Amino acid sequence: MKDSLRPPRPDVRPSALLSVLASAHRLQAGIETALEEVGLSMAKVGVLRTLATEGQPLALGELAERNQCVPSNITQLVDRLEADGLVRRESDPKDRRVRRASLTDAGRRAADSGGAIIEAWEQRVAATLGEDATTLQRALDRLDEKR
Amino acid sequence: MKDSLRPPRPDVRPSALLSVLASAHRLQAGIETALEEVGLSMAKVGVLRTLATEGQPLALGELAERNQCVPSNITQLVDRLEADGLVRRESDPKDRRVRRASLTDAGRRAADSGGAIIEAWEQRVAATLGEDATTLQRALDRLDEKR
DNA sequence: AAAGATTGACCGCTCAATCTTA
DNA sequence: TAAGATTGAGCGGTCAATCTTT
């Protein structure tokens, strides 16, 4: 993936495609670095915030849907969050197939601190884009529509 | 679309940050899927095209620099490309520390077919963006400057 | 059989530690 | 010692196969 994101060499005109991918990659890298300082990642914060917003334990399948990923991904992410002491797995007595993830106190605090960092970046990005935000938004939407 | 007729509510408006990241992710996913049909990935095509453009075997460290990634990444990527029969590792008699990657015939063909697929997407993206391309480009550049 | 979750194997990427050669 | 490459461990993601429970 990284290879496709290589920066333009002086003699070559950068394609819009590669520019978009590279920019997004660098943007994400910046956020990941910021989150590292509190021992978190975007993936982890995503799960923690989903749980915090929900306010109650969520089945892993639910978590996968909300985070737009595959179930096995959540299984492993929750493994790590559990090892970090941020989340606990609970059984559902109603249906013994389902496992629910619930936030620990440390998990709630992590959701807050990680969330604050991401919101700060959202502010920064919004401010940087300014009036171009809507243009950019529409442009990206058009790209998505093309599948 | 009636949302655009009134001021966006702060708590509901999707953040530009997450939109950009999600769009880029979907865009890349589309390309990866297209490349799957010829058994390639963006990472692999990146390396193959670098070698094809260079026209001669490149030291793995060179390859890492051009593709803006860490050496160990290239080591493993070349492992897989070698297993695919697309590149070969060669020794440098001048300096026995360096290993060079060279394209096989199949590798040259793969660089072409993969390159064609990516170029087709570049065309598509450029056409979709149209006149917004420069605005988008400047906006993304500003984001990068903010690190 | 179908749903929910997990496991194992892989890709792509990173870092730290290691090995070889200069 | 330093440079070039590799190895090992880990994160985040996918898919296919599996196990348990419904």
Q: Please give the structure tokens belonging to residue B58.
A: 């490149």
At residue A21, the 3 state secondary structure works out as helix
Helix, strand, coil distribution of chain A in percent, nearest 5: 65, 10, 25
Q: What is the DSSP string of B110-143?
A: HHHHHHHHHHHHHHHHHHHHTTHHHHHHHHHHHH
User: Is B135–A136 a contact, with Cβ atoms under 8 angstroms apart?
Assistant: yes
- Integer Cα distance of A76 and B4 in angstroms: 40
Could you say which of A4, A19, A139 has the minimum Cβ distance to residue B46?
A4
At residue B32, the 3 state secondary structure works out as helix
Q: Which residues pair with A59 in a beta bridge?
A: A100
Whole-structure pTM value: 0.90
Provide the shortest C-alpha distance from residue B100 to chain A (in Å): 18
Provide the shortest C-alpha distance from residue B90 to chain A (in Å): 21
Q: Which of A85, B128, B67 is nearest to B76 (CA)?
A: B67
Chain centroid, CA B68 distance in Å = 10
**Going residue by residue through chain B (147 aa), what tens digit of pLDDT does each one get?**
433 333 443 444 568 899 889 999 999 999 999 999 999 999 999 999 999 999 999 999 999 999 999 999 999 999 999 999 999 999 999 999 999 999 999 999 999 999 999 999 999 999 998 888 888 888 888 887 765
Helix, strand, coil distribution of chain B in percent, nearest 5: 65, 10, 25
Q: Please give the structure tokens belonging to residue A90.
A: 């609970």
